[in-house]
Amino acid sequence: MNISIGCDHAGFDYKEKMKAYFQSKGFQVQDHGTYSTDSTDYPDYAHPVAADVEHGRSSFGILICGSGNGVCMTANKHNNVRAALCWLEEIAELARLHNDANVVCLPARFIPYEQAEKIADKFLNTAFEGGRHSRRVEKMSCN
């Protein structure tokens, strides 16, 4: 499975660990930066990750910033991207099961790395439930 990952300076350390973790599990990981802890602008990294998902180059995206909100808002500007801000495994699971989310957004300043890894793992390994939820997901787009 191909995934894309990106972050701002607040998420850099988490991104580096998470990239290595998922590569060790056999995922192909496209890293869109940032590549240091130097202050940077989260949209510069959220847009390329969301574009990969939007255009089918990646099955899923992982975005990390301080609160998770900035990357989430940015990613959701893209067609067919359903980015979910997740701070618990249960929220990640429901985002996949019920909302067919395809980008998980993580708040690095508010959860420990171990929790972020578990959230992303749960997200990537949970299938969309479909059924009545499909009808709802189809109504999300403004297009």
| Active-site annotation holds for 142 | no
| Active-site annotation holds for 65 | yes
78 close to 53: Cβ distance less than 8 angstroms: yes
In degrees rounded to 5, what are phi and psi of residue 66? -55, -55
86 close to 54: Cβ distance less than 8 angstroms: no
Q: Which residue type occupies 3?
A: I
The residue from 7, 65, 72, 86 that is catalytic is: 65
User: Which residues are the active-site residues?
Assistant: 65, 98
